[in-house]
Structure 1
């Protein structure tokens, strides 16, 4: 068979698996042809090489809204581009959160997937950014805005979108459905066909698609093709775990959802060999890991357990739970890696530590974040109880103290958190408000009454540049310390996302791990004092090879005696390497 025939055969098999319980008007091979045409894949195009890593130690992603920084008389996307060029040369990738017209949820209720929000700029601004850095874009695939033309056609009962949305009956058994919200699942909607109840996983302005209709799948493949043409080469599949619904089930992580992701990866990597699929699945850790598939599903998965575990570690002064979790995590095989982050536009999810942190630990964590000015969002559990779902707080405020209260070590603790994250196996993603040391935005929270707004500040560019020009300002100090760490990381082969990693056993007050480059020439011992007291690091326990010269990459000092004991100040990190 030709390469194109092999692709069609594979797609047909995937479609048969997805739609095995759905009666279709078209045959699977006809749908496969339509998908190939929509993606404009031709004979002699890209043939993906299995288990290929499309990343290196040089990849660091900044996460930002398109309008996180605003300048008078300039498109926010142009402002963002200039800011990155001026201050963030060490960062080669950017995730611009939904930059499309929207009606709510700060972009995640998309009205039109094919347009750039004119309040941000236009496609030329997106293409300018993509020409300089790897660009990551959201594919908001589970739902769209109730104000979209598609949903308005659903209400009218005609036109594109009239059959794109999932409905259920109020009499259906929906007791097991897993959701991250407490609002009613079904939205009563008067349509030309009478009253219908539309499935809404998140809010009644975010109406869920019905992927049992292959036209919905085809629509999203056209969208992907447009984004590829604009320079996007990292696709973040937002809330994808909820994509396929079956009444009477939990309607999360269903086999059809996994197969849709595999099919999209098949198409994307045949269209552009180095494009990457990342799944955003804010769910318990063991479920999250399944989205790797057999290196044939997501290239990367969000490491959702890391933020709450790392915050827990730094406020308690014990790495017990973080260490246990890290030792249980499987090394990512080639063709996959973790996407590590410790802060984002959303809050710190608690579902990913279910079964990892004990209930009492979660309570202490929630109480401490509340003490530091954070807000707690809840969800309705399977038994109908409200449970903490997400902690909404700026990371710099989350780390301003310990369970004992606020202390003078906030900046050191905050830097330590990033040093740990930057050293770990995987690709690091850093939220713009972490890079800038932005604190809780209570004014925005009051204006929107949405807890997540507390960590979605919008900077005035002139005010921000003034702060960054002052070396004694906390924002300037944060940016300098983090960009220094990033610059060191991106020049060390031992920090390749798929380089070897082993957890070190140095007690519960020192958290450490060892990284080795894939060519085995470089070793880096990453060790952090995660307490508010000075701690001794017995270098002899690291078994450093005596014939090598060892350096601390962070302070640049040579380690003259590898049998000595080194004093680590509160929240100090060392990266001990045999290559300077």
Structure 2
């Protein structure tokens, strides 16, 4: 066995971490690739870890030490995130750097730059079909620009996050190009089956994009068969059964960490492992892969976070934080999206009922130490209604009908104030909804002062749900300024087929100065200040209330009340509101209060 022994006190910290964490990493490698492959695979992995650690810049080494000393740094109440596309926010990476002061004014501590890495030519799934993990999209800048941005962000105590697509590469990635050219080493990086097997597997597999990209396989003549493509035909699924894929992605991840990225959004983690006879989602080996990557980061770059994009029912989410496997707890991701809570907030607004968000908050407790939700009111993707079917089925005998009604309301049915648009559907089937936070909350449809006031309250309400629920609450670009749906994408041939560009407008840098934007940003600042004062961070607590539209969340020492109703509601008891400084006994329509002290 080649596990390093504990070094003396003069040895580099990486050697101590390697000795301490090696058993955890080795355990995952053996689970994935078997005992016979373990020793040579371990030797190659350890060499990669040592090389990456030795290449780490001094300021990143110092950050590693600080965060090892404070492993819960990302669960602090002051944490606030921000997510954006580079071109939508600042045009280029240098343009983002020029607007870091805007992020600092909001209190941002975490910045997720979406689709930053070099994408395939032509359609690229919004940049998520990656052609080169170690290069920036050329029109956005260079990796040197990213390093300068990362340093500027660190000076402002802001951690930089990048997407790391683990499930697939673009079909023009150099690995795919080599595979297409006949290189057997890289051909085994992908999965190729016959036409008959592809048809058989498709019969048992669900589809991610049934309208725009039906099926799970794509015929590629140069590959001699059908390549597995869970998402789009130009995104070739990686064959994680091949240990060389693990080693290649390990080197990639550590190289990116050394460029200054402090967090990775692990794209499509639920899909990594493929096994015939299953739906190929949330399988145990997918977790072993991510746990192995987490162990590797904990050794070579422990300042770095892993965030899972696991858009699955709440019951399937806890394993992405890690699991107790008998020999102790095995950590996985530091952060996991609380997608169900986001969807539940919009269901609550449509129904004027707090039932579903109460159930999700109740299910969101019990986090392990060193783990946190990433919460949000909206993001760059659609509102995927199916993600909460399992949650809603536990409290309603007709969950699909209920979600269809909520979706139609957000699509503007009847007297709705919402201006959402169906995604991957003509509206007759349940799939997703597109729209900016402001348009969905009614600001686009508001034509008088009363309607505008109601919309602004609803915007504050869903932001409060995100911030009060204890996670790393993350704003999507423009939502802090009340940006509305942007239909200009319909005139762009490269984007017209992708309805999610509706809620990905370019940042209007005049917008933050408008009265509506100042109101929204002020509400966010007040909510963040109240959370800091309450000490609320981490798992939320669901508190029962006497009114079906009233949601109560325990956050730190306080209780937050959210009224998902167009009518005023009374609180069970009056209390002092941190947001207004007043004593509150009732909430107006779409109102909220951050009451000092826990509810009885």
**Does 2:169 match 1:144?**
yes
What SS is found at the alignment partner of 2:112? Answer: strand
Post-superposition CA distance 1:528-572 (Å, at most 9, x none): 2221122222325xxxxxxxxx74221133x3xxxxx72322222
Give the whole-Å Cα distance in 2 for the aligned partners of 1:12 and 1:376. 46
Work out which of the residue numbers 507, 510, 519 in structure 2 matches 1:466.
510
Change (3 A) 1:160 1:556: farther
- TM-score, normalized by length of structure 2? 0.82
Q: Work out whether 1:181 is the aligned partner of 2:209.
A: yes
Task: Render the CA deviation track for 1:223-253: whole Å, top value 9, x for unaligned.
Answer: 1111111111211110011111123321111
Partner residue in 2 for 1:454: 502
Q: CA deviation at 1:377?
A: 3.0
Give the structure-1-normalised TM-score.
0.85
Change (3 A) 1:50 1:501: farther
2:423 equivalent among 355, 377, 397: 377
The corresponding residue for 2:138 is 118
CA distance in 2, matches of 1:401, 1:94: 26
Q: 1:546: which partner in 2?
A: none
* Alignment partner of 1:575 is 2:594: yes
1:127, 1:506 → 2: CA distance?
A: 52
Residue 14 (str. 1) matches residue 63 (str. 2): no
- Structure 1 residues 100 and 49: CA distance shift in structure 2, 3 A: closer
What SS does the corresponding residue of 1:308 show, helix, strand or coil?
Answer: helix
Pairing 1:130-529 to 2, within 5 Å after superposition: 130-131=150-151, 132=153, 133-158=158-183, 161-172=186-197, 173-174=200-201, 175-182=203-210, 183-191=214-222, 195-294=224-323, 296-357=331-392, 358-371=399-412, 372-378=418-424, 388-400=430-442, 407-408=451-452, 409-447=454-492, 448-459=496-507, 464-470=508-514, 472=515, 474-489=516-531, 491-498=532-539, 501-516=541-556, 523-529=557-563
RMSD: 2.9
Counterpart of 1:545 in structure 2 is none
SS of equivalent to 2:136: coil
Give how far 1:578 is off. Answer: 5.6
List per-residue Cα deviations over 1:355-389 (Å, max 9, x = no partner).
2331121111111122244332349xxxxxx9523
Gaps of 5+ in 1: 380-385, 517-522, 541-549, 560-564
Counterpart for residue 41 of structure 2: 31
In structure 2, the residue matched to 1:101 is 118
Q: 1:573 to 1:221 in 2, by over 3 A?
A: same
SS of the residue corresponding to residue 105 of structure 1 reads coil
SS in 2 for 1:114: strand
Aligned residue number for residue 76 of structure 1: 92
Are the equivalent residues in 2 in contact too, given 1:315–1:402 (CA < 8 A)? Answer: no
Q: Which has the higher helix share?
A: 2
Q: In the TM superposition, what is the alpha-carbon distance from 1:399 to its structure 2 partner?
A: 1.6
- Deviation of the 1:348 alpha carbon: 0.9
**Cα displacement string for residues 283-315 of structure 1 (whole angstroms, at most 9, x for unaligned residues):** 222112221222511222111101211011122
CA distance in structure 1 between the aligned counterparts of 2:347 and 2:102, rounded to whole angstroms: 34
Correspondence for 1:562 = none
Tell me the distance in 2 between the aligned counterparts of 1:480 and 1:179.
Answer: 42
Alpha-carbon displacement from aligned partner over 1:464-494 (angstroms, at most 9, x marks no partner): 3333334x3x3343333323433443x3252
SS in 1 for 2:551: strand
Residue 547 (structure 1) aligns with: none
Which segment drifts farther, 57-66 or 165-174?
165-174
Q: 1:566 to 1:330 in 2, by over 3 A?
A: closer
After TM superposition, give the deviation of residue 398 of structure 1 in Å: 1.4
